[in-house]
Amino acid sequence: IKRIRTHHLAEMKQRGEKITMLTAYDMYTAQVFDEAGIDLLLVGDSASNNVLGNETSLPITVDELLPFTRAVAKSAKRAMVVGDLPFGSYQASPEQAYLTAVRFMKEGGAHCVKLEGGAEMAPVITKLVQGGIPVMAHIGFTPQSEHTLGGYRIQGRGAGAEKVIADAHAVEEAGAFAVVMEMVPADVAGQISKELHIPTIGIGAGVDCDGQVLVWQDAFGLRTGRMPKFVKQYADVRSVLLEGAKAYAADVKGATFPDPEHSF
């Protein structure tokens, strides 16, 4: 496979091969994750709180996210690059959504876009797909709606399961090629993954999703502090950088760097 495309993901689901996805926001991480064989690179609006220093994903703008998208798109040779539509850039109307998504495809070089919302976003999804833009939906807990959802909480528990299930079917019917499910009980996510024809990508949604996604700063230990239950840490990048920076500072303070080997 030269470049992962939507049909490859559908084929993976059919043969039971799990789909891998990570966020990436710059050239080197995109190169590394692409080399590792990660299928999908998401230039998430999570750049807001993982790169730009904001507390949530809400403040990031299209103009801020586009350069990151371009960097990842230029750097990934095999992975499919997903542009994440920021809060407020697509909810007003299908037309607004289309114009924003076109920017992610043309200026950002993304191969598809992701947007948050279920049944209520069906007309938007259909509009984009009809206009040539593959859409990945995102249901369950949707961070851009944290203020209407009342904070970071699991969606689809108990009676709430019906809504998440209905949203999953609605985005599939609207034409989405895949759907992210965030913080959904594992049994509900498993049922949805069985019922849908399109692949499901879970984050805090159990092992029965067709694929998984994590924010790389969470997965590889750059972010510190209290972590959501669904995060597993696979590396300790922060320690590596911290030790490196300390060693560099000690060498400079001690006038042992640069030594003759690193001087002209």
Q: Reply yes or no on whether 182 is catalytic.
A: yes
User: 190 φ, ψ to 5°?
Assistant: -65, -40
First to last CA, the chain: 46
Active-site option among 55, 95, 182, 261 = 182
User: 214 φ, ψ to 5°?
Assistant: -140, 155
Q: What is the DSSP letter of 17?
A: P
- In angstroms, give the least distance from the CB of 77 to Na ion: 24
Residue with the two structure tokens 């320690």 = 239
Of 35, 1, 3, 40, nearest to 18 by C-alpha is 40
Tell whether residue 108 is a contact of ligand KIV (CB under 6 A).
no
105 binding partner (options ligand KIV, Na ion, none; Cβ < 5 to 8 Å by kind): none
Asked if residue 212 lies in contact with residue 21, where contact means CB atoms within 8 angstroms, the answer is yes
- In angstroms, give the least distance from the CB of 248 to ligand KIV: 31
Instruction: Report the distance separating Cα 239 and Cα 152, nearest Å.
Output: 28
The residues that touch Na ion, with contacts defined as CB under 5 A, are: 44-45, 84
Tell whether residue 117 is a contact of ligand KIV (CB under 6 A).
no
- Between 75 and 217, CB nearer to ligand KIV: 217
**x-or-dash pattern for ligand KIV, window 165-194, by CB under 6 A?**
---------------x--------------
Find residue 83's DSSP bridge partners.
43, 113
Tell whether residue 200 is a contact of ligand KIV (CB under 6 A).
no
- Between 172 and 218, CB nearer to ligand KIV: 218
3-state secondary structure of 51: coil
In this chain, which stretch among 10-18, 40-48, 97-105, 164-172 interacts with ligand KIV, using CB under 6 A? Answer: 40-48
- In angstroms, give the least distance from the CB of 79 to ligand KIV: 15
Residue with the two structure tokens 């969470």 = 218
Torsion from C-alpha of 163, 168, 172, 178, nearest 10 degrees: 150
Tell whether residue 80 is a contact of ligand KIV (CB under 6 A).
no
Tell whether residue 215 is a contact of ligand KIV (CB under 6 A).
yes
Residue with the two structure tokens 């019917």 = 173
Residues with catalytic function: 182
Interacting residue ranges for ligand KIV, rule: CB under 6 A: 23, 42, 44-46, 84, 138, 180, 203, 213, 215
